[in-house]
Amino acid sequence: WGDFWSAGAAWVISKEDFFNADWVDILKIKASYGEQGNDQIGSYRYTSLYDIVNSVGHPASTPSTLGNKDITWETQQNFNVGVEFDFFKGRLGGSVEYFNRKTSDMLFSFPLPPSYGYTSYTANIGDMVNRGVEVELKATPIKVRDFEWNVNLNFTAYKNKVSYLPEERKTMEIDGKKGYSSGSYFYGEDCALYTYMLKKYAGVNENGQSMWYRNIEEPVLDENGAPMKDFMGNTITKVVGTETTTDYNSASDYLCGTALPDAYGGFGTSIRWKGFDLSVDFSYQIGGQVYDGDYASMMGSPTTGSKGRNMHADILKSWTESNNSNVPRLQFGDTHTAGSSDRFLTDASYLSLNNINFGYTFPKLWTKKVGVENLRLYVAADNIWVWSKRQGLDPRQSISGSSTSAYYAPIRTISGGVTLTF
Q: What does the DSSP assignment read for 242-299?
A: EEEES-GGGPPEEEEEESS-SEEEEEEEEEEETTEEEEEEEEEEES-EEE-HHHHHHT
For residue 305, is pLDDT > 70? no
Residue 86: the pLDDT is 94
Runs of H (alpha helix) within 124-191: none
Average pLDDT rounded to a whole number, residues 144-152: 93
For residue 340, is pLDDT > 70? yes
Model confidence, pTM:
0.81
Strand ranges inside 39-73, DSSP E: 49-55, 58-65
For residue 300, is pLDDT > 90? no
For residue 267, is pLDDT > 80? yes
Question: Minimum mean pLDDT among 26-30, 252-256, 361-365, 407-411: which range?
Answer: 407-411
- d(CA 341, CA 336) in angstroms, rounded, equals 10
- Find the distance separating the first CA and the last CA of the chain, reported in whole Å: 51
Query: Residue 186 carries which side chain, given as an amino acid letter?
Result: F
pLDDT tens column, 73-105 = 989 999 999 999 999 988 999 999 999 999 998
Nearest to 283 by CA among 198, 351, 377: 351
Count of C-beta atoms within a 10 Å radius of residue 147: 12
- Looking at the DSSP bridge assignments, the partners of residue 218 are 238
Task: Determine whether 69 is exposed, middle or buried from the number of CB atoms within 10 Å of its CB (0-12, 13-18, 19+).
Answer: exposed
Average pLDDT rounded to a whole number, residues 301-328: 84
Where is pLDDT greater, at 310 or 192? Answer: 192
Average pLDDT rounded to a whole number, residues 226-245: 79
Percent of the chain with pLDDT over 70: 97
For residue 231, is pLDDT > 70? no
pLDDT band at 304 (very low <50, low <70, confident <90, very high): low
Average pLDDT value over all residues in the chain: 89
Average pLDDT rounded to a whole number, residues 268-283: 95
The widest CA-to-CA distance across the chain, in whole angstroms, is 103
For residue 8, is pLDDT > 80? yes
- d(CA 313, CA 363) in angstroms, rounded, equals 55
Residue 91: the pLDDT is 92
Residue 115: the pLDDT is 80
For residue 248, is pLDDT > 90? yes
Residue 90: the pLDDT is 87
